[in-house]
Chain A
Amino acid sequence: MTEAATSDLEPQSVISDEIAALHARAGGDATQPRVDFPPYRSSVLRHPTKDLHHADPEGVELVAPVFGHSDVDPLEADLTIQAGGDPVGERMVVTGRILDGAGRPVRHQLVEIWQANAAGRYVHKKDQHPAPLDPHFTGVGRCLTDGDGGYRFTTIKPGPYPWRNHHNAWRPAHIHFSLFGTDFTQRMITQMYFPGDPLFALDPIYQSITEQDARDRLVAAYDHDLTTHEWATGYRWDIVLTGSHATPLEGEGDDRG
């Protein structure tokens, strides 16, 4: 991409100044991103301006969809074996537990991930980044949590990639996670990041969470005990969903699946 092609984009300094101003004005209880966060330019027309309306969950909202072994093949948790050869990059294991707001494990539930390859390129047809595709990497995985809420993926560490939010904008390396709880109100999609990424301070998506403690909850921890000799590095990331509104049904417990 030439300089001329990007000259209509604002510099990082404009975005960084806006982020700093919004953080200075923000309250201290922001556990979730602000959906109204103009430094992420695509958000400007895509967020509600009216307050969310309070509702007590009813009926189906108290019951998450159920997934099982007929839905997910265990091999889908290994993103390094899906395309007929070894993908290029740093092989790694990402594992952790999914808990609800009361600390209870979310058992036998679906976890979906997607990510760029080691060069920072998605297979997606709209990804124009001139970095190589890897014929041995689709960047898509699924698994079911175990009886303790645990999930585990084997994959390749994704690279950072450029986008056109502003001039010379780069996303910190991340893996997208799609998560379900035990009731429908716990549904969420988020992104897992890697410790110490130098792009954190510059990224308006990560910085849309105005509290540092909350941002830190999106960062996995390197875990040398997960790292395996001459094979793969290991990262640990636990996820906490919002609380469940439903009373657990009698007889529902560890024995399913």
Chain B
Amino acid sequence: MDERLPATPGQTIGPFFHDALPYARGHELVPPGAPGAIRLHGSVYDGGGEPLPDALLEIRQADATGRAPRVEGSLRRDGGVFTGWGRAATDPGGRYSFTTVEPGPVGDGAAFFAVTVFARGLLNRLFTRAYLPGPAAEADAWLAGLDPARRRTLLIEREDDGSLRFDVHLQGEQETVFLSFPEHRP
């Protein structure tokens, strides 16, 4: 079983990714104004509380019925296909924004957006989860295993305008819970 190949190391995304990775409508998993469209947005902060103007977030999510799409078309969003994946760079103020739909729960767990974070100064990618707040999140066994103060960093806030806010803190008192998966072992 354990005849595994050692993984190639990651490296920082660096400062010069903007002409390569972001693309037109990369952050629009559904068009603005589509039925059920919501905004998932927030800021990425460093340990000094400064926003990062050079971070990149990607999200992977289920559709409203809880199905994880396995369809192409993310890079040319002209077919009206929901691919469940999107990419957004932070703006000069450190803010990012996606237009998407709320994911439905997959199986018994609470519904979340899987999130990957890249940034200049960050030597390897980080994984986290942005959970929809509500009874399902409160009942989620994995979330319940987290220290309450830290659990809060994974919960989306619903803003008055109906949008979903999820901030990422790379470091500091509000440091986001970042994840390690079994296959990430050295």
Contact = CB atoms under 8 A, between A and B. Distances in A.
Q: How large is the interface on A (under 10, 10 to 19, 20 to 34, 35 or more residues)?
A: 35 or more
A218 B11 contact: yes
A176 B72 contact: no
A55 interface: yes
A215 to B, nearest CB: 7
A72 to B, nearest CB: 7
Q: Which of A40, A59, A72, A112 has the most CB of B within 10 A?
A: A59
Interface string B68-105: 11111111100100011100000000000000000101
B8 A46 contact: no
A113 interface: yes
A65 interface: yes
Interface in A45-87: 45-50, 52-72
Interface string B55-75: 000101110001011111111
A58 B17 contact: no
Secondary structure dominating the interface of B: loop
Interface residues of B, number: 77
A24 interface: no
A214 B8 CA distance: 7
Given A45-B170, A122-B16, A127-B16, A60 B186 contact: no
Contacts of B19: 114, 122-124, 138-140
Contacts, number: 250
A205 B175 contact: no
Interface stretch (A149-157, A194-202, A224-232, A237-245): A237-245
B20 to A, nearest CB: 3
A112 B21 contact: yes
Interface string A114-125: 101000001110
A250 B8 CA distance: 28
Given A37-B123, A65-B84, A189-B118, A55 B181 contact: yes
A31 B58 CA distance: 24
Given A46-B52, A68-B72, A218-B8, A187 B125 contact: yes
Interface of A: 29-35, 37, 40, 42-50, 52-72, 99, 101-103, 110, 112-114, 116, 122-124, 126-127, 138-140, 176, 178, 184-191, 205-206, 208-209, 213-215, 217-218, 239-245
Interface of B: 3-21, 46-48, 50, 52, 58, 60-62, 66, 68-76, 79, 83-85, 103, 105-107, 109, 112, 114, 116, 118-127, 129, 142, 146, 150, 170-171, 175-184, 186
